[in-house]
Amino acid sequence: MNYDVNIIRPEMRTGQVKLRGGDLSAGERRVVRKALRTLHTLEIMATKIYACQAGGRRSVLDLALTTAMCNEMTHMQDFQTKLYEYGIRPSKLRWIYWLAGYGLGLGSRLLGRQAVLKTAIWTEGKAVDHYGRLLTAVDWEPDMRTVIEKDQADEHGHIERWQRLLGSPETAV
């Protein structure tokens, strides 16, 4: 499917939030819980990476990092909402991913523009891989699958943006 990766915060209406998973077996529920918690915690990490990488400079890179952070926050909200729709609580260990994001984001920022972009590309590559595996691991409801596929498409868009910026000189906005 084709998704517009320029839409960073898709509209969501009240009727789209619903109770899910009542017909799942215990095994299916475990798989869904693991998948949604994985996606939620990885999006927490990505959000923190971008927040720490943006250095407050008025540059094309900082603008792109801020845009990506906003998009990742949307993904994080998508999966937190889905967790609660399925009656599942977020992982108690999600703070570890927040710390990892902080370390990766701040560390790469201290190392400079190239490290920021290479860290972003690596992170998004991992996300794309996780999305791909989780799309096949669970027989998602059609509207759930659409959310996951859109978020995966966004990650592909981020990789393309970071690769483009990696090959261009830094410029101010």
Q: What's the pLDDT tens digit per position in 152-166?
A: 999 999 999 999 999
By CB atoms closer than 10 A (0-12, 13-18, 19+), residue 133 is exposed
Question: What single-letter DSSP state applies at residue 140?
Answer: -
Tokens, residue 48: 């923190």
pLDDT at residue 170 tops 80: no
In this structure, which topology does domain 26-166 adopt according to CATH?
Ferritin (1.20.1260)
Domain extents in the chain? 26-166
As a whole number of angstroms, the distance between CA 80 and CA 93 comes to 14
Mean pLDDT of the chain: 92
**Cα diameter, the chain:** 54
What would the pLDDT profile of 107-143 be if each residue is shown by its tens digit?
Answer: 999 999 999 999 999 999 999 999 999 899 888 889 8
Q: Which residue has the tokens 């990885």?
A: 42
| pLDDT on residue 96 | 97
Give the pLDDT band of residue 46 (cuts 50, 70, 90): very high
Q: Which segments of the chain does DSSP mark as H helices, in order? A: 26-53, 60-85, 94-111, 113-137, 142-166
